[in-house]
């Protein structure tokens, strides 16, 4: 696992492209996939928060939060752009943030209501992918000339990965 800052330092152009796609509508927007207790996927929209120090997500009391508390594996996919079929996905582990200074700073900066039952998670990065489909889109049925899709990928180096124990 790498932090967002580890990833951005290792692959600044890829990180910038992913962040731009996630923040294309202003605040971060994406689909968060978590692992249900039965092993199946659960997908919900979220608003990821990018900082120089990390990638975070406020999660209200919900099945998705309980998924992350039980099994931190996640996948985050950007909302699709309106003018093309480009896509960005990152995978990793969500870790509950317990540092009061980080929580207070992000909650204050983002106006997170103290009246809402939310928890802050840091999203670490195991893999990252940015795919450009070009002007013809993902299904270039009538495109001439055809431009193949171009994908950039990254995987956290072994020295940044660690195995998390999954609670039973």
Q: At CA 159, angle to CA 157 and CA 165, rounded to 5?
A: 100
The whole-number pLDDT of residue 81 equals: 85
* pTM confidence score: 0.83
> What is the arithmetic mean of pLDDT over 54-68?
96
pLDDT in tens, 76-86: 999 988 877 88
Q: At CA 54, angle to CA 133 and CA 31, rounded to 5?
A: 45
Label residue 31 exposed, middle or buried (CB < 10 Å: 0-12, 13-18, 19+): middle
pLDDT at 166 over 60: no
Where do runs of H (alpha helix) occur along 23-157?
63-70, 100-109
Supply the mean pLDDT for the chain. Answer: 86
C-beta of residue 86 within 8 angstroms of C-beta of residue 21: yes
């Amino acid at each position: 696992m790498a932090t967002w800052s580890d990833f951005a330092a290792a692959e600044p152009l890829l990180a910038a492209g992913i962040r731009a796609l996630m923040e294309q509508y202003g605040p971060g927007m994406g689909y968060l996939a978590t692992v249900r207790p039965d092993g199946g996927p659960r997908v919900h929209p979220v608003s990821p928060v990018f900082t120089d120090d990390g990638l975070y997500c406020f999660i209200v009391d919900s099945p998705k939060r309980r998924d992350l508390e039980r099994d931190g594996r996640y996948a985050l996919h950007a909302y699709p752009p309106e003018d093309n079929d480009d896509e960005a996905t990152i995978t990793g582990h969500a870790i509950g943030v317990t540092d009061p200074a980080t929580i207070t700073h992000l909650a204050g900066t983002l106006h997170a209501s103290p009246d809402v039952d939310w928890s802050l998670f840091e999203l670490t990065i195991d893999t990252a992918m940015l795919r450009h489909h070009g002007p013809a889109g993902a299904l270039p049925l009538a495109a001439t000339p055809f431009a193949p899709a171009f994908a950039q990928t990254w995987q956290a180096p072994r020295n940044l990965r660690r195995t998390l124990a999954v609670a039973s």
